[in-house]
Amino acid sequence: MTLETNRTDLASTRFVADDHEELTSGQCRLRIDHFALTTNNITYGVFGDMLRYWDVFPAGESGWGRIPTWGFADVVESTSDELPIGERLFGFLPMSSETIITPGKVDERGVSDVAAHRVGLAGAYNRYQRCSTDPAYDAHREPQQMVLYPLFFTSFVIDDFLLDNEDFGATQAVVSSASSKTAIGFAQLAKQRGLKTVGLTSAGNQAFVESLDVYSEVLTYDAVDSSATVSAVYVDIAGNQDLLRDVHTHLDGFLNHSMVVGNTNWNHKATNTSALPAPTPEFLFAPTQISKRTKEWGRDELDQRIGDAWKNYSEWCDTWLEFSQAVGNEEVLGVYEALRSGQPDPKLGYICSLPNEEAK
């Protein structure tokens, strides 16, 4: 069973039955145990064409797509010498019961899917970590790894990119969608190094965001003009185009950099950025910054830095984050719709699984 979305209308979805095609030489069939759904997955759909997310798991019919998620799967059938039956993997997975990969580029860290349709994609999106060789793997903390780690990875990159650019000379970072886990992770990192953050959120989420005590200040979206007019960077995770204009207008002359990270408010109409007060928003593509740091620091040091920050963050999240299980078509679609419509509970992490049954 697979949940597919219309590539040009994320509100249009359908379930299709897995065809359980025969493996060719060198392939493996993965049975997907469970995967996480977050607002980040909606961002994958919004930027599916521009950043090739639709190419990761091609749908069988033109116009439809399979949004990638992060999750765990087991090798249940293999014609590959690289990956035996029984291996458990963590990585990019479709919202499905199963999927097929072509493992290659094997090392002590894991394997890559070297299938033709994934050639040229960012390495992180083709990579699968073998749980058996991951020293940080903990079976009891799979939910934290699925829900939080990919988002925290982006949080780390946001903070590192700003640090790498000396915060563009800014004294504060204004952050939209402050209740999102990506924003929370960034705010925690920024607080640790003394960068002031102003979190923008809905009135309904304001109390929750304030309770986290990671932002220097929390404002509702309609109170943007009450934020201090001092040198700033804007970290746009919401993708709300009206808010983008409000922030650029209020901070006209004080905004040193405008960073586009996500699109949790995906259905807002695009703004003509050429008409915005400067600077022009720039998209942050995490793999680009990671590639830069890998060359500068080496992979081992990069992994160590991310790992240390991740351990601290994930343990702190245990104090407030709860997990919700969604099993089957109806429940998984319900989670997807809540995320797509911008109505998720920020205190919850959603863990999903789809049984292999007839399409409905």
Query: Over 70-105, what HEC string results?
Result: EEEEEEEEECCCCCCCCCEEEEEEECECEEEECEEE
- 2-6/64-65 β-pairing: antiparallel
User: Quick one: pLDDT band at residue 266, thresholds 50, 70, 90?
Assistant: very low
Gap between the Cα atoms of 182 and 152, Å rounded: 6
- In this predicted structure, the answer to whether residue 360 has a pLDDT above a threshold of 50 is no
**Average of pLDDT values for 269-286?**
79
Domain with CATH 3.40.50.720 in the chain: 151-287
Confidence of residue 265 (pLDDT cuts 50, 70, 90): low
Cα–Cα distance, 198 to 217 (Å, whole number) = 5
Architecture of domain 151-287: 3-Layer(aba) Sandwich (3.40)
% of the chain with per-residue pLDDT over 70? 95
Identity of the highest mean pLDDT range in 45-54, 216-225, 275-284: 216-225
In which band, very low, low, confident or very high, does the pLDDT at 358 lie, cut at 50, 70 and 90?
very low
> What would the mean pLDDT of 253-261 be, rounded to a whole number?
96
Q: 117-169, pLDDT tens digit by residue?
A: 999 888 888 999 999 988 888 999 999 999 999 999 999 999 999 999 999 99
- For residue 59, give Cα distances in angstroms to 41, 63, 70, 226, 290: 16, 8, 18, 47, 29
264 confidence band (pLDDT: 50, 70, 90): low
What pLDDT is recorded for position 321?
97
In this prediction, residue 249 carries a pLDDT of 96
Q: What is the pLDDT of residues 25-72, one digit of tens each?
A: 999 999 999 999 998 899 899 989 988 999 999 998 999 999 999 999
- The CATH homologous superfamily of the domain defined by 2-148+321-353: Medium-chain alcohol dehydrogenases, catalytic domain (3.90.180.10)
Span(s) in the chain for CATH 3.90.180.10 = 2-148+321-353
For residues 24 and 79, the answer to whether their CB atoms sit within 8 Å is yes
User: Residues 182-189: what's their mean pLDDT?
Assistant: 97
Pairing of strands 232-236, 172-175: parallel
In a 13 Å sphere around the CA of 302, the CA atoms on its Cβ side amount to: 16
Alpha helices in 318-358 (DSSP H): 329-340
- Annotate 16-36 with three-state secondary structure: ECCCCCCCCCCCEEEEEEEEE
Is the predicted pLDDT of residue 89 greater than 50, yes or no? yes
**Is residue 336 within 8 Å of residue 39, measured between CB atoms?**
no
The pLDDT of residue 357 is 63
Is the pLDDT score of 359 beyond 60? no
Mean pLDDT value across residues 219-239:
95
- Interatomic CA distance for residues 166 and 160, integer angstroms: 10
pLDDT at 263: 61
203 or 19: which carries more pLDDT confidence? 203
At 286, phi and psi to the nearest 5?
-55, -45
Q: To the nearest whole number, what is the mean pLDDT of the chain?
A: 92
Q: What percent of the chain has pLDDT above 90?
A: 81
pLDDT band of residue 277 (cuts 50, 70, 90) is very high
